[in-house]
Amino acid sequence: MYDVLVIGCGITGAAMAYELSKYELKVAVLEKENDVAEGATKANSAILHAGYDPMPGSLMARLNVRGVELARQLCRELDVPYEPIGSLVLAFSEAQGESVEELYRRGVANGVPELRVLTGEEARAMEPNLSRAVVCALYAPTAAICMPWEYCLALAETAVVNGVELYLEHPVTALEPTGKGWKVTAGGEIFETRYVINAAGMEAGEVHALAAPCPFAIHPTRGEYYLMDKSEGGRVCHVIFQCPSEKGKGVLVAPTVDGNLIVGPNAQEVEGEDTRNTAQGMAYVRERAVESVPAIDFRQSIRNFAGVRAVADTGDFIIGPVDGAPGFFDAAGICSPGLSAAPAVAEYLAHLLEDGGLKLERKPDFHGIRTRVKFNHLIAKEKAALVGENPAYGRVICRCEMVTEGEILDAIHSPIPPRSVDGVKRRAGAGLGRCQGGFCGPRVVELLCRELGLSPGEMLQDEAGSWMLAQETKGGGWHV
């Protein structure tokens, strides 16, 4: 019997697992995909929002501001790339200037520190590549950027190190109340638990409906992005937003923690998890982005991608116990600012669980520090010493990002081992650079096969069914 089962291991589920791993509890996480961070967590803007956009009094407002406060410490303790670069919201007209003033008032009400409204000249002094049409801007110095999948992975790995059990490829298909809690069917297995946390993202409505009639609807909303080469990474040094609308925070332009430039997204309601890029969507992103930063060189795009966020019809996060389903708690509708709010969502839910009867007794031996080798960030003396101890760190596999064999082997033998080439990319960075795995991909496949005892025909690009190779040849090889 588990104390708590968490359904879903995106950023919300991983943060919940991390929070619960601090206590003397038996906890498991059920994830339908073959890795953590496989939904919106791996395909978003990578922004930790300051917290001026949500309506005062909402859960979004309360948990956004607390979440970015917690993120600073978590990223430091868990060795997650994080940069507190601040953000600017641009106004191009008098009417948009009024929107900026309203965002300022909201931010003050939400407790966002150090907000300032700048003139157009002041904004361009900070960001010389901004459009001359900018008349004013809201400056929020507490906004930051991070590596979202690394953040999720770090939380999940730390939870596993501290005793949480993670079950990948375990989609939940049934929930049945028992006298002591719930019987959960997932991946053909049955789990018994006292409490259930529904952090299932896009499927949160369906999971809720297995326990009780669902009073909310999730509207999948696709956002499309350009990822630019590092040659464009210095185009701006803050997160550049446009005034938000009812469809979201608008098209942004921002540096990434890896030194690239990200541009997007649009907002298009879709059916299910449709992550295709479209010509219309990408043209819209490009059109809007150059309104803010006219000099962006889109010839330097190295990848287009799209993510689907779970937008609830309630207009706010849906967090708390479910009427008629004792012991079942929702963490649903966690769209933007979900990445920013995640640790605060987990903290809030832990308090609700405690109010619901769960005893939270701190572990005396909780291990909350995580480190990893980033060879290219070391000085020459440190590199030489590391190669002397382990020659694998002296063999560069990914030339674009200077990722070594030693780092890839560390990823393969980590607390949550990758099951695919993209799983290695998210853990070690091989394939994130300009060639997008064109050179290092075959070597990553070779290392995965060697270390995991797999054949090339079993190797996945990412999710289940995304085979790298198609069929065996007569000579025993494989066709791409």
Under 8 Å between Cβ of 378 and 403: no
DSSP H helices, 182-278, are 204-211
Q: Which of 142, 143, 152 minimizes the C-alpha distance to 40?
A: 152
User: What residues contact residue 311 under an 8 Å CB cut-off, 6+ apart?
Assistant: 218, 219, 220, 221, 333, 335
Write the single-letter amino acid at 394.
G
User: Does the annotation mark 49 as catalytic?
Assistant: yes
Q: Is 238 exposed, middle or buried (0-12, 13-18, 19+ CB in 10 A)?
A: buried
Contacts of residues 97-105 at CB distance under 8 Å and 24 or more positions apart, as own/partner, are 97/135, 97/136, 99/243, 99/244, 100/136, 100/137, 100/138, 100/243, 103/52, 103/53, 103/138, 103/243, 103/244, 104/52, 104/138
Catalytic residue of the set 49, 170, 208, 238: 49
d(CA 2, CA 167): 13
Of 33, 103, 46, nearest to 338 by C-alpha is: 46
Q: Enter the tokens of residue 292.
A: 């803010």
d(CA 5, CA 460): 28
Catalytic residues: 49
